[in-house]
Structure formats: structure tokens, C-alpha cells
Amino acid sequence: MPADATRRRLRTAALELFVEQGVVETTTRDLAKKAGIAEGTIYRHFESKDDLVRDLFCDHYVRFGADLNRIQAETAGGIDAKLRAMIDFMCRLYDEEPTLYRFLLLVQHAALPNIRTAPTSPAVIFRGLISRAIEQGEIPEQNPALAASMVLGAIIQPALSLIYGSLTGTMSNFAPAIASACSALLRAPRQHLRAA
């Protein structure tokens, strides 16, 4: 009956349904049923279904970005230590809150209307980390945006493979291997730069 509880239940139900069956495939009827409220009540809390999606995404995305940023800042040491901590965090999030994680993956690829990449997207954070490491001579000269993409891909794709079943286990168990792989990836020889 308290308005906040209703809102929270709706958001939780929405997150689960969106992940389970997709955003477009989830109807307001589904949402109301799962949240245990009336369809009309949705519109007391959100202007539209799109608004609900946006709210959900922005909120979680911002929090996720902030967490990732904080971990990067608070972790002592060089890029390897920071990378390791960030990857540990992402893997733990996947294992502990798979629904939330999958939602972040899902809406990243969905043509989300009117949502511009937040300034604290993982890609931006990784790029900053890599740029600084290059400046400080920790890793060789390279395209930071490309490197950030590859690192992100090496983290995200195993998660997707787990979801789709082509990989089995827990992300946390893979964290050391992924971190090690990313560190190596960033130090790959750049002979081709000479050629280009």
C-alpha cells in the first residue's frame, strides 16, 4: 500500500520480465500481473512503458558505472591491479545479480529510444584507464578506444556464452583468467603499427 513499495515491486517485476522475455515482448498486462498491481497503476509511477525502461536502465547503468569508477579509483597499484579488481567486480555482479546483469547487457543492444550512452559507460571508463596507462608507459602506445572495446568484449562475451549455454561455470571462477588475458591483450606487440 505504501507508494514506494508498489514502485519497487513494479521495477523488480519489470527487470525480471524484460530479461526473461525481452522488453518489447513484455506487455503492461504481464508487468501488472507479476507486480500484483492493476495495469492502470503503472501509469501512476511512470509516464509510459518506455519511461519505465529508461528509468530502469539509467538508474542501474549509472550505479554500475559509478561502482566501476570507484573501484578503479580505490584500487591501489597499476593497470593490472585495477583491471583485476574491476573484472572481479563485474564477475561477482554477474553471479550474484544475474538478472540485473543480463538487463544491462540486453538493453545495451536493444535500440533503446532516446538513451544516449551515459558518460560513465564501461567503455568510457576502460578507455580512461587505458589512456592513462599509456601515458605513464605501463603499456605500449595503442588506440585506447579500440583496446577498451576489446577488453570489454573479452569480459562481456563469456557472460553471454554462459547465458546462452555455450560455456558453463561461474563468472567469478573465470575472473583470474579473464584479467590475465586482458593484461596480455593490452601488451600485445604492435609490429603492424610500423607497417601502417
Q: Which residues bind its own copies (CB under 8 A)?
A: 21-22, 24-25, 105-106, 109-111, 117, 121, 123-124, 142-143, 145-147, 149-158, 160-161, 164-168, 173-174, 176-178, 180-192, 195-196
What is the rounded CA–CA span in Å between residue 41 and residue 186? 50
Grid cell locating 149: 572495446
For 12, 25, 69, 70, 82, the CA distances from 129, given in Å and listed in that order, are: 33, 37, 10, 12, 9
Residue 137 or 165: the one with the smaller Cβ distance to its own copies is 165
Instruction: Confirm or reject binding of residue 173 to DNA (CB under 7 A).
Output: no
Q: Cα torsion for 146, 149, 151, 152, to the nearest 10°?
A: 170
By CB under 7 A, is residue 26 in contact with DNA? Answer: yes
Interface residue with DNA among 13, 19, 42, 133 (CB under 7 A) is 42
Judged by beta carbon distances under 5 to 8 A according to partner kind, the member of its own copies, DNA, none in contact with residue 120 is: none
Minimum Å gap between C-beta 1 and DNA is 6
Which of 20, 22, 27, 70 touches DNA (CB under 7 A)? 27
Select the binding partner of residue 114 from its own copies, DNA, none (C-beta < 5 to 8 A, by kind): none
Cell 579500440 belongs to residue = 146
- Of DNA, its own copies, none, which one does residue 71 interact with (CB within 5 to 8 Å by kind)? none
Q: Which does 48 bind (CB under 5 to 8 A by kind): DNA, its own copies, none?
A: DNA
User: What is the smallest separation between the CB atom of 137 and its own copies, expressed in angstroms?
Assistant: 18
Say how far apart CA 55 and CA 11 lie, in whole Å: 9
Q: Which is nearer to DNA, 6 or 99 (by Cβ)?
A: 6
Backbone angles phi, psi at 110, to 5 degrees: -65, 145
DSSP letters, 24-86, are: TT--HHHHHHHHTS-HHHHHHH-SSHHHHHHHHHHHHHHHHHHHHHHHHHHS-SSHHHHHHHH
Q: Which residues are near DNA by CB under 7 A?
A: 1-3, 5-6, 26-29, 37-45, 48-50
